[in-house]
Amino acid sequence: MHSLGWEVIGVIDTEGDRAEWSFPAEPGAVRTARGAVRDQLHRWDLDSVGDIAALLVSELVTNALRHATGPIGVRLIRPARLRGVLLVEVSDPLPDPPRERVARPDDESGRGLQLVASSARRWGTRPGSAGKTVWFELAVPG
């Protein structure tokens, strides 16, 4: 992965059908996460979903930065049992699930989950042992 000027706390795994990173809760994490996702999807020959995956990860990491203070995890999974699907997860230490809301035209924020909901095949949240995970699935052309 090329250096984007910000730290990755740890590259947990980028082998096989799974890639996972941990980023500090700092503004540069959004750009670094977006770059890591694009780079990994390029290595997997999944450039066709690289832009939308990077955009949605940006939105979810931004949400995590607004509300959480601890590290932010990003995971990409190509599930063997679900051909043609990319699963993307963003985790943070805040246990409260995000709430989708309708942003007014003049609002500066509030569109991230709407974008995820309208772009992903499916999405949702699940509690973790320390926080939560927001996940989404993208259809991968075949």
Q: Could you tell me the CATH number of the domain that includes residue 95?
A: 3.30.565.10
Is residue 106 in a domain? no
2's tokens: 């090329």
Residue numbers of the domain that contains 133: 10-99+112-139
Is residue 18 in a domain? yes
- How many domains does one find in the chain? 1
Q: Is residue 142 a contact partner of residue 95, using CB atoms and an 8 Å limit?
A: no
**Alpha-carbon dihedral angle through residues 131, 107, 25, 50, given to the nearest 10 degrees:** 90
Sheet with strand 85-92: strands edge to edge: 10-13, 18-23, 72-77, 85-92, 131-139, 122-128
Is residue 1 in a domain? no
Indicate whether this model's pTM tops 0.75: yes
In angstroms and rounded to an integer, the radius of gyration of the C-alpha atoms of the chain is 14
Is residue 105 in a domain? no
Among residues 28, 37, 110, 25, the alpha carbon closest in space to that of 69 is found at 25
Is residue 90 in a domain? yes
For each of the chain's 142 residues, which pLDDT tens digit applies?
444 444 555 555 556 789 999 999 998 999 999 999 999 999 999 999 999 999 999 999 999 998 888 899 999 998 776 678 999 999 999 988 777 666 666 656 666 788 898 899 999 999 988 899 999 999 998 7
54's tokens: 């990077």
